[in-house]
Chains A and B, each alone.
Chain A
Amino acid sequence: MIKVNKKGEVWVFAEQHRGKLEDTSLELLSRGSILAKQLGVKFAAVLLGDNNVKPLCDKLIHFGADKVYLAQHPLLEHYQTNSYNKVIYDLIHKYEPQIVLFGATPTGRDLAPRLASAVKAGLTADCTDLQIGSHEIKKTGEKYDNLLMQIRPAFGGNIIATIINYDRWPQMATVREGVMPMPEANGTRKGEIINETVHINQLDLPIEIIAEHIQAKKVNLKASRVIVAGGAGVGSKDNFKLVYDLANCLGGAPGATRAAVDLGFIDRDHQIGQTGTTVRPSLYIAVGISGAIQHQSGMSDSQKIIAINNDPDAPIFNVAHYKIVGDLNAIIPMMIKAIKEKV
């Protein structure tokens, strides 16, 4: 652990695979730079990889980093828990940042806990918001200012907890994918690149990767302005055509609940919710979806929500701006007609 260091920088782990930065890392750059400004400190990205990742530094700077700590080594080509852990552990002890953020990607959630344990610092999981605030211990009257408020759902999405750590730093958190807006690149931004010497060897790579398969995601839900999502109520794979048709005439993407995915109506890439993608489109149309909390937590931040359900008491109506009670099989064709005539 490091001591509380109010002059410490704000860091984001810049996750890259095969020379491509993860969207979540870019999303974190927007919030990270705001937090650093509020604290009056520098904002840095930490980039690890083989000798080909240097070009990514400019991108990180254009998206908001003041500095990039660049650790290049042939053995850092593929992510491995121990090697990445060791390099970042050394950097944390060298520079003593006050905040270190990771995307809550499969890699981020593999690395961050191992690292927090090694550093003996606290780690908040899967945050959906980060703010700067203060905390008072009622009993003693001690007050701590300028802390990182780490806001996260827990208990299956039924509660929102704000977590802090005021005595053992850095303040570390993983942040859920898709919850922070993607910043706009500014090609004229300038920053500093700091080359770090890396001390690792073959012993830091206890894992041998024998085979690997990467599936390109078939849909990009996060980038869609309109999403039409179907649930178990759609009834069958064939009937899901209604969902595609409505999405198509709005230039939107089809989404689904876990129940619809489990029933084989549509591929898992389309799942929205706690264990799927989190989305915030301009318009979300929920069709035959009951509105379980695990689904709501992935879509309730949408700007406008239309819900179609034949059960007037379905929980989805609690978050809907437009409530339509009735049979989706009758309503969708009428809606398509209305859109085709107006748009």
Chain B
Amino acid sequence: MAYNCVVLIKQVPDTKRITGQAMNEDGTVNRAALPAIFNPEDLNALEMALQIKDTCGGKVTAVAMGLPAASDVLREALFRGADDAVLVTDRRCAASDTLATSYILSCAVKKLKADIVLCGRQAIDGDTAQVGPQLAEKLGITQITYVEEIKELKDDEISVKRNTGNGWQQVKTKLPVLLTVIDEANTPRVAGAKMLMKNKKARTPAELEGDAGKIKELEQKGLLIKQWDLDFLEADMQWCGRDGSPTKVHRIQSVVLAAKGTKQIEATQDGLNDMIHELIVDHTIG
């Protein structure tokens, strides 16, 4: 049986490469100073979907919500083997918390009629790991979190191994289902040369700045990446963007993890003896 898989992918700033320059003076993060990348665990989710297609047949669609720049990760998904890609972009999505994000994504996924929805466990910028379970609730389907491996997929039944933090569980359920995938699940394949050649020129309408001629040309060549706004999704505005987000940011501080008064100790027997003596006197040890 062939399956229709939808993978949710997020473009994120590479928070692993954060440096002093990436912080603004007011403590907020200067996203422009960080490279934008494919959220790491979303690559594992994509790989899992592609493996389902490899063994059972079907289709893989990648969906990203974000600024037009997120077209980059959608192209990357096409290079790696996704069949189709959708950019959800709309100014009114701005300031969405996870509840609003999952509502908007649910409107898009509903249009795609998925058998299996795959998310990364967690995005490395917002770091909440909430969008997967919330999206499953909005879609009214079963969720299985922290998926490490698909054990069996047959007809409308799936059995997976999930990591429970202090061990594992093998569970079985009926489709449709939403899986959140962890980085231990697999090693994502790299872009295929053929897919790269084929999709190198794929663009979203936003990237073409509305040039009607260009849009038409790419559409005819099958290289126009789908782009949906909130009107197209028939989203209820009360659940989108700032209005749809119950959580608000009260304050942001950059982390200055500094100890008060660092004492340098000589790396000699005497120096170490003195330090240990101090720690005994102040009851830290002993």
A135-B250, A155-B127, A293-B18 known; A305 vs B259 contact (CB < 8 Å): yes
How far apart are the CA atoms of A343 and B284 in the complex, in Å? 12
Check if B249 is an interface residue, CB within 8 A of chain A. yes
Stretch at the interface among B2-10, B74-82, B170-178, B217-225: B170-178
Could you mark each residue 300-332 of chain A with 1 if its beta carbon is under 8 Å from any beta carbon of chain B, else 0?
Answer: 100111100000000001111111111100110
A153 contact from B127, B146, B280, Cβ within 8 A: B127
Report yes or no: A321 in contact with B130, Cβ–Cβ below 8 A.
no
Across the interface, name the chain B residue whose C-beta is closest to A301.
B257
B residues less than 8 Å from A317 (CB atoms): 262
Q: Report yes or no: B252 in contact with A125, Cβ–Cβ below 8 A.
A: no
User: Is chain B's interface secondary structure helix, strand, loop, or mixed overall?
Assistant: mixed
Measured between beta carbons, the chain A residues less than 8 angstroms from B168 are: 212-213
Q: How far is the CA of A157 from the CA of B132 in the complex (A)?
A: 21
Interface residue tally for chain B (C-beta within 8 Å): 79
**Contacts A207-B144, A322-B263; A342 near B255 (Cβ below 8 A):** no
Please encode chain B, from 234 to 266, with 1 for each CB lying within 8 Å of some chain A CB and 0 for all others. 000001000001111111111101110111110
B92-129 CB mask vs A (1 if < 8 Å, else 0) is 00000111001000000000000000000000111111
Query: When the two chains form their complex, are residues B142 and A165 in contact, meaning their CB atoms are under 8 A apart?
Result: no
Contact A163 B250 (CB under 8 A): yes
A126-167 at interface with B (beta carbon < 8 Å): 126, 133, 135, 149, 153-167
User: Does B166 sit at the interface, judged by CB under 8 A?
Assistant: yes
Query: B285 is contacted by which of A1, A226, A296 (Cβ under 8 Å)?
Result: A226
Pair A125/B130 contact, Cβ less than 8 Å: yes
B18 touches A158 (CB 8 A): yes
The answer to whether A283 touches B145, judged by C-beta atoms less than 8 angstroms apart, is: no
- Residue in B closest to A336 when the chains form the complex, CB atoms: B272
Beyond A159-B253, A207-B144, A331-B272: 19 further Cβ-contacts under 8 Å?
A114-B134, A116-B130, A117-B138, A121-B99, A126-B128, A156-B124, A158-B255, A161-B251, A206-B174, A208-B173, A211-B169, A211-B170, A212-B170, A214-B164, A321-B259, A321-B263, A323-B263, A323-B265, A334-B267
Seen from chain A, the residues whose Cβ lies within 8 Å of a Cβ on chain B are 1, 81-82, 85, 105-106, 109-114, 116-118, 120-126, 133, 135, 149, 153-168, 206-217, 226, 250, 282-283, 293, 296-297, 300, 303-306, 317-327, 330-331, 334-335, 337-339, 341-343
- Please give me the 9 A-B residue pairs with the lowest Cβ-Cβ distance, nearest first: A122-B246, A156-B15, A326-B267, A125-B128, A122-B247, A106-B165, A117-B137, A168-B246, A113-B133
- 17 A-B residue pairs with Cβ-Cβ distance under 8 Å, sorted by A, are A120-B239, A123-B98, A123-B99, A126-B127, A133-B250, A135-B248, A154-B127, A164-B248, A167-B246, A208-B173, A213-B167, A213-B169, A293-B18, A323-B263, A325-B267, A326-B267, A334-B268
